[in-house]
Structure formats: C-alpha cells, structure tokens
Amino acid sequence: MSEPRYLDEVRESSAYRSIAADIDRGEFSHAYFILSEDKDAIDALFTLIAMKAYCKDACGVCAECHKVLVRSKPDVKYLAEGKENFTVAEMSEVTEDAGMTAFEGGRKLYFFKNFENLADAPQNKLLKTLEEPFDKVHFILSAASTATVLPTILSRVKQVTLAAFSTENVRKALVKSGVPADRAERGARLSQGSLTRGREFAVDEDFARHVSEVTDLLLELKSTADVYRFLREGIFTKERIERTLSMFELVFHSVMSAHLGLPMLLEEKREVIESIASSYSLAAVGAATDVILTCRARLKANCNATNVADYLLLKLPEVKYKCRS
C-alpha cells in the first residue's frame, strides 16, 4: 500500500499534536473519536498516531515506522474501511482479539474509519470493551458526523476535531503531492479546508463540464413536472451522485456569495450564478443547502441514487417557491 498523502501537513494539526502530547505524557487514551469528513487527512492522522505509538518521534524512517507505513505491523488493525455493513459477528472478533496478547508486545491499535456507518448493534458490541478497556489497547474511531453514533460510545472516548486547513496550506499540499500549480490553485480555492475535496476538484479533468451540468439544471428546473426528465441525467448515477452533490454545494455557495456581495468560488461563472441567484433567494439557498445535507445522510443510510436524486429534484423547486423574496 502506498504511503498516505499529506503526512507533513497533518503532523502540524492540533488534532495530531493533542494526541501526540497524550502519548508523550504517558496518557494515551484507551479510545479517541476524531471528527472530520476529510478522508485523506484521516488516513494521514491514523498513520501518524500509529507511528507515534511505537516511535517517540514518529520519524517515518525507522523500522517501526516503516512497518506502520507499509501496514505490516501485526498489532495495528484498520477496520471497516469502505465497508457499509460491519456486523456484530465481526465486531465480536475485534473485541476478542483486543483481549489477546499483542504479537510483538506493547500496544495494540484498532482504527475505525467511517464509524458513523456502523449500525447500533455492532456499536453496542464495542461498548463493553470501551467501558472496561484492556491494558495497552487503543481504539481510534473517526466519523464525519456524530449523528448516528451512540451517545454511550461518545461518553467513553476522548473527542478530537481535525480542523479545516487553510486555503494556502491546501494549495501547498496539493503542489507538493504533484498537482500542477494552476489546478492546485483551483482545488485549494474550492476545498473549503478539506485536503480530500481540494484534490478531487484539482484533478477533475471535466470540472467545467460538471459545474455546467449543475448550473444548467438549476436554470431549467422550473417545477416538479421537470423531475422525471432530469432523473435520467448521467449526473445522478450511483457512481457520480456524491460528486454531483458536491457540485450543488459549490454552486449554492457561490449563489450565496452573489447575494452577499462576497467573492465567488466560481468567479468564472459569475453571469450564470447571478442568474440562479435571481431565482433562489438567500433563504432558499439556505434551505437548498439543508436539502443537500439530507441527501448525503440518505446516501449514508443506503438509499439508492435514484431515490436520493428524486428527493433532491422535488425539494429544490419547493424551497425556491416557499422562500421567494
């Protein structure tokens, strides 16, 4: 497996510094909950925590760090990566393994990405282990939101927020990772502080076309009678719907900026953005943003892409009508 991106950038984050300080003081918590939707940054943070657990400086070059970087450290486990249905049986295996002696002695680390995707039952299965932790066993959970995480889980972990990165730091990180300067500038400008989002926008070969697909739809979607026509558009396929929702967020952010007289993220599309702003009041933009957040929640709850798109296209004319200025 290749080394995670952005290790140097995440090393400077307050989230890493806080956990590293705990380790240095001998107060490494049995469980952390890291809040962030920045997947690339979470990958880097997990790696840094694992290196720090076995190497005082998390140097990245010693034998222990190398094993972490290539994921050959037997006492470091990465769980539920990209998995939507982590079962009770699988969690039972984890908790049983946690009670066993470490292969190499010392600490055992269990990293859970996308913890918000776990159902209540496997979360509850983990709860007892968090309530009665094993010595030198550490669980590091991450999620984009706490909405679906059991309060009992949150009460037994040390919560840490991985803060957004500055636009300039995102730009520098993208350039350092090999992204051409002009694209890195665009990605950073649209990143909203997320290294993952910045890279996605920077490397998108069809960025302009994707933006135009969304702006054209917003200009042409007049009523719920138009929904069926747009449902057949390629932007709502299972493979593309998450990116499409990001494009809607981006366009509405620019529409809000147009209303407030602020610089636009999509300055090159000013004319069409102002045209959309004439139809969507500031209140409608806020309501539309809430609709998009609901769409994301439905995707996480395993609603299919067509149903999510149907909800989006039905709601947008509704909020535009209800929030007329």
User: For the chain, which residues make up each domain, given as ranges?
Assistant: 7-161, 204-322
- Which tens digit of pLDDT belongs to each residue from 269-307? 999 999 999 999 999 999 999 999 999 888 877 788 999
Which pLDDT score is estimated for 170?
97
Which pLDDT score is estimated for 80?
75
Asked whether the predicted pLDDT for residue 1 surpasses 60, the reply is no
Q: What is the mean pLDDT of the chain?
A: 91
Asked whether the predicted pLDDT for residue 246 surpasses 60, the reply is yes
Asked whether the predicted pLDDT for residue 59 surpasses 60, the reply is yes
Percent of the chain with pLDDT over 90: 70
CATH number of 7-161: 3.40.50.300
Asked whether the predicted pLDDT for residue 125 surpasses 90, the reply is yes
What pTM value is reported for the model?
0.79
How many other C-beta atoms are found inside a 10 Å radius of the C-beta of residue 203?
A: 16
Distance between CA 255 and CA 283 in Å, rounded?
11
Burial of 58 (0-12, 13-18, 19+ CB in 10 A): buried
- Say which amino acid occupies 145: S
User: Please, which residues bridge with residue 33 across strands?
Assistant: 141, 159
| Cα distances (angstroms) measured from residue 18 to each of 12, 66, 122, 157, 234 | 10, 23, 28, 14, 44
Residue 177, helix vs strand vs coil: coil
Closest CA to 313 of 221, 234, 232: 221
More confident residue, 186 or 65: 65
Asked whether the predicted pLDDT for residue 41 surpasses 80, the reply is yes
- Which tens digit of pLDDT belongs to each residue from 12-34? 999 999 999 999 999 999 999 99
When mean pLDDT is compared across 37-46, 156-165, 200-209, 245-254, the lowest value belongs to 200-209
Asked whether the predicted pLDDT for residue 82 surpasses 60, the reply is no
Which pLDDT score is estimated for 234?
85
Task: Name the strand (E) or helix (H) holding 78.
Answer: strand 76-79
Q: Which residues contact 278 (CB under 8 A, 6 or more apart)?
A: none
